[in-house]
Structure 1
Amino acid sequence: ATLSSDMDKTDKVVAFLDECRTLELEVLPPEVNASEYMFVATDPRTVRYGLGAIKGVGRGACEAIASERASGGPFRDLLDFCKRVDSSKLNRRALEALVNAGALDALGRNRASLMLQLPEVVKATDQLARERDAGQVSLFGGGGAAPALEVHLTEVDEWPLSQKLAGERETLGHYLSGHPLDPWRDDLRALVGTDLGELDKLWSSAPQAEKKGWRPEVGVVIAGQVVALRKKGDSQMFVQLEDGRGRIECSVFAEAYTQLAPLLTRDRILVVQGGLREDEFSGGFSLRVRACWDYTQLCASHAQRLSLRLDMRMPGLWERVDGLLARHRPGATPLRLDLLLKSGEGGVAGVLDLNGPKSVRVDAELLDALRAQPGVRAVKVAISRPWAN
C-alpha cells in the first residue's frame, strides 16, 4: 500500500525497490496482461509493478486496460490491444511509454518491433474507430458493418541494451530489466574486486586499526555510474554512484574537486578511490573521494589484453570481427582469441594470441561493437590499476 501511494515519486519507488531487494522480494515488471493501476502483491514473496508508476500513462488509461483485460481476456498482440482499449484514454504518447517501460513486451517479439509497429497499428485502429462511429450514425440509414482489420506486424532485431535501459529510465525513473554496467560488470569486478552491494563486507573485513579515530575511514576502490550530482558552493560536490547492486554518496572537496570536476558528469562510469565511512544519518556508508578515473578512458589507456571468445561456426563472423579490429589499429593492446572451431557437442577450442602490428586501441566503441556481433560469446578486458603505481 505504501509503495502504491508514492508511485508517482521516483525517489520513493527506487527506495522501495531497494528495500524489496534487501528483503529478497521479487518485483515483477509492468505487464498489460497482469498489472493493475497499483502495485499488487501476487504472493508473500512477489510484487507486480503497477501501470500507474509509468510516466505518461494516466490513471484512466491504466484502469481501461485492466477493465478490458478482465472482460475480454488477455491481449494477443499490439493490434488486439489497440483495438480493444478505448483510444480516447490511451493516446500515442501513452502507448510509446508502455513500450519503453516494457509493459507491452508480451505482445510482440521485442520493443524495437513494437515501436516500429505502433504508427501503422494506431493509424488502422483510428480508422476502425471512425468507421464504427459512422456505422452507429448510419444504423437508421442501413449502413453496413465495418470491414475486418488486417495489419502486417513487422518484426526487427531488438534495440541495443543502452537504448532499452534509456527507455526504462525515461518512463520508470530507473532501470528495471538490467543496468548500463551489465556489459562491463565482470571487467569492473576484476578491476576493483567488489560491487556496491558489498560495502558492509568491505567495512567489516578491514583491519580494526583503520577504524579508529574521530571519523574512521577504510581505504577502498569502488566503481559505479553517476546517477545524481549535488554541488555545494564553489569547491564541493556530492556524487551518487549506483551499479544495480547498491548505491553510495561520494563527497569531493577542495583540491580533489578542482582536479576531478571534469569527470563528474551524469551517466559516466567512474572508478573511485577514497575513504569509506559509516554514515550515521542514512545508516549506510559514504565515501570521501581522493582520486577517480573515467572507466572508458582507463580501457583506452590501461588495457593490458583484450580477450574474445568467438564461435567460428557462425558464417562470416571472423570477417566482421577482423573488420572492427582493423579500424582500431595501430594500437598497444594485444589480443587473445578463444576460438570455437568445430560443430558438434562441445566443439573444439583453439587459442590464438596476437600482438605487435595486430594489437588494437581499446575504447568503448570497439567493445560495444564486438559485444553486438552474433557469435561473439565473450569480450573481456584486463586493465592495470593506476592507483597501484
Structure 2
Amino acid sequence: MRPTGAPWFKTWAEHGFTDQSLRQVVRLHAGGTQVRIRLSNAYGHTQLHLAGASIGRSTGPAAVQPDTMRTLRFAGSPCTTIPAGGRAVSDPVALNTETLDELTTTLYLRNPTGPATYHQLSMATTYRAPGDHHRDPAATAYIEAVQPAYGSWYYLEGVETSGPRSVPPAVVAFGDSITDGFGATIDGNDRYPDLLAERLLTAGHPRPVLNAGIGSNRLLTDVPLGGDAGLARFARDVLDQPRIGTVIVLIGINDIQQADSPSNGTRGHCPPVTAEQLIDGHRALIHAARARNVKAVGATLTPFRGAAGWTTAGEAIRSRVNHWISTNGIYDAIVDMSRALDPDGTGRIHDDLHIGDYLHPNPAGYRAMADSIDLATL
C-alpha cells in the first residue's frame, strides 16, 4: 500500500470513488474452508465508509460464480467505517478454496471516499461499476477497467484462508518493482512470487507466497512513488503477516540508481547512497526477522547496466553489496538472482530476460528468478 501522489500513471486513486462498486481479482496461494479480507485506509485523511462487500470464485474478467458469492460482514454488520490511518478485517465466511484459485472481491463505496489508499502496480485488471453491484455475479455492470493496463488494487490489503487443513508457514517476497512484477503479463500471474508458489505446489510442498513488493520502493528512504522505505514498512508488510516462516529480501537497486532517473520513480535530488548504508539496512532487516523467528533469505541485487539510472559508481555499489550478501554468513540462505538474469556475469540482464529497459525482467526473466531459488532453503 502507498499514499496517493505523483504516480507513474494516472489511476482511480487520485479522485477516489462515489456510489461505485469496485471489483478486484486475486489468486490464492493456499486453500481452505473459510475466507476473509483485510482492508486498509492507511493513507486516508478521512473515514472510509464501506456500504457493502462480497467475495466469490472468479469465472471471468469481472464475473463471479453465483453459488460461491458470499456477503462479507464486519463484526456482524454488512457495512463498516474505517478510520483514517486504520484497517478492518471481515468476519470469516465459509467458502471452499484450493491453491491457485482466483477469488473476486467487490466493495461498494456509496459515500465520496476522497483520495484512496492503493497498491499502484497490480499487473491485474480492476473493474468499476456505477451504483451498487457488489452482490451482482454478472460482469455486465462493470463497464470500466482500470487504465492503463498495469492495473492497481484499492483498499484491499490481503485475502486470508483458514480451515482444518495444515498449511506450512508462508514465504514473503519483499522488495521493489522487480518483486511487485512490473513487466509480467497482465492478469497472467507470472511475477516471480507467483511462479515460486507454482514450483512449490508442483514439488508437492505447497505453501503461501505473499508478494510484498512495491514499485520504486527503496530500502533506506521514503520516496513519493515508492511509498514508505523498506526499513520502515518491513514490520507491517512482512513480520505482522499471519504465520510467516521465511522472507526473501530483494531490495536496494532503487537506492543505488541515479536520483533523477525516470526509472526509479523519484523527483528531485536524493543524497547518494553508499554500499555500507545498504549493508547496514540489510543487517537491520535480518535482525528484525531473526527476533521474530523468521528465516531471512538474501537475494543478490539484479543487474541494471543499460538502464536510465545506471552509473559506474552505482555498479560498484551493487557489486559491493552483492559480495556482502553472498559472503557475509548473516543471511540464513542466499539466492543469486543476479546470476539468474545475467548468467555470463556481464552486469547486464540477458536480452531475452528483460522488457527492454535493462532493469525489469519479462515473464521469462521472472521464471529464471523463481527457478533459481532452492526450495529446500525455504
TM-score range, shorter chain: under 0.3
Higher RCO (C-alpha 8 Å, min separation 6): 2
What TM-score do the two structures reach when normalised by structure 1? 0.26
- Structure number with greater Rg is 1
